Structure 1
């Protein structure tokens, strides 16, 4: 069966997350339903990562197997037609070999988190950022973020329902920038690793925001990491500001 890699963008607000759930709106379920309009049968697609309810994607990657050899551009156009009016778009589609696996072939996952800092309610960015009313200490957050880099036991920053076999992960990058936008200053968190624990990025950002306000010191972040205790984590930030921004492969099918 011909295999295709799909690059997918979506707004997470209407969905319970990526993963298909019975009688609930999911991104996976919507795309599988669109595939069934093209080839009437049960379809199962596999994604690079399972985003939670309310989390967005700029470049989620999934693969699907078809019975017919489709032209990749025509397949993406047909899927986008049947996905309307849902906020899901197939932004690229490529034929790939049978050994390509959207999840297991991935070598890097990159997340973006956006915090908007302004007192007036967000309008254009509503549902797309975590809005706070105060400024943050950028340098203090950067100092604390540096303590998280490398290989650690991240139990503190792991959801209690996380199903990963081990809490040990290697964090490759956690960069923070202040970006001036027409809507107000934003803080962008660029987080990269081969894989993540459940709620790990949102736990990082929630704790770093505490550092940014001065409620925590960078040393408090080190103590939280060393505690290996979920109770030591700062507040987990809301999902609205989180985006799956990129998935890296040794042989990028979209290059």
Structure 2
């Protein structure tokens, strides 16, 4: 059975998360329902596997999943057919690619990249409603960058780990945290970009919520060091809401979509 990788974009607002659930809408179920219109295996209950199981309300611009199909589709036509059957769900297949049988969207991944968007302004957001976390007052970007620097590297992230996290170990290597400040009409947007091979459940939202406390000057940057060393969930700052979080991309030793990208650029 030919295996295909799918690069997926979605608005997480209407969904109870990526993972299929019996009584609630999920992104996985939306994609599998579209696949069932095209493939007998999925009509009979076959499943797809994703690089990351995003929570309810979390968005994605570069989720990756793989599917084993009974037909060897042209990748471009597969993406077009899936997007037709996904309507009107806020889910899009950006591209697809034929991949080796040993490719696994989750276990072959070498990194995940997340973005968290935080807007500071007095007036409510309109166009970005459901897409960003809003606070009222500007944040101290320099202080947040100082605090974030203490979290980069290999650490025991128990403090920043959900109590229901199923990972075997709280030890993770956080490769990068970048904080960019952008001027928007009558306010500021703060973009937190985090990169690691893998993350614990709620790790990104816990880190950003803690850094916001630093930026709001309720915490000095050094308190983040103490929170990390405590290895205690009670030492964490507030967990920020899911609707500001985006899975931006997944890295692999070889880009599975490189050939598809070249074909799209050349108009094939």
Q: Which category of TM-score, normalised to the shorter sequence, fits these structures?
A: over 0.9
Shift of 1:180: 1.8
2:133 corresponds to: 130
Corresponding residue to 1:176 among 170, 176, 179: 179
* Secondary structure of 1:38 counterpart: coil
Match of 2:159 in 1: 156
Q: Which residue of 2 aligns with 1:244?
A: 247
1:107 match: secondary structure: strand
TM-score, length-scaled by structure 2: 0.94
Could you tell me which of 38, 60, 68 is aligned with 1:65?
A: 68
State the secondary structure of the residue aligned to 2:96.
strand
1:7 matched to 2:7? The reply is: yes
Task: Could you tell me which runs of 5 or more consecutive residues in structure 1 were left unpaired when the two chains were aligned.
Answer: none
Q: Which deviates the most, 32-41 or 127-136?
A: 32-41
Alignment of 1:81-230 (within 5 A): 81-182=84-185, 184-230=187-233
- How many angstroms apart in 1 are the aligned matches of 2:66 and 2:6? 6
Q: Extract structure 1 runs of 4+ deviating beyond 4 A.
A: none
Measured in 2, the distance between the counterparts of 1:55 and 1:120 equals 23
For structure 2, the 5+ residue unaligned runs are: 259-268
After TM superposition, the score normalised by the length of structure 1 is 0.99
Which residue number in structure 2 is paired with residue 23 of structure 1? 23
Q: Secondary structure at the match of 1:91?
A: strand
Cα deviation for residue 13 of structure 1 reads 0.3
The equivalent of 1:46 in structure 2 is 49
Task: Report the RMSD for the aligned CA atoms in angstroms.
Answer: 0.8
Cα distance in structure 2, aligned partners of 1:21 and 1:200? 23
**How many residues align structurally?**
255
Question: 2-side partners of 1:33 and 1:52: how far apart?
Answer: 20
Tell me the residue number matched to 2:265.
none
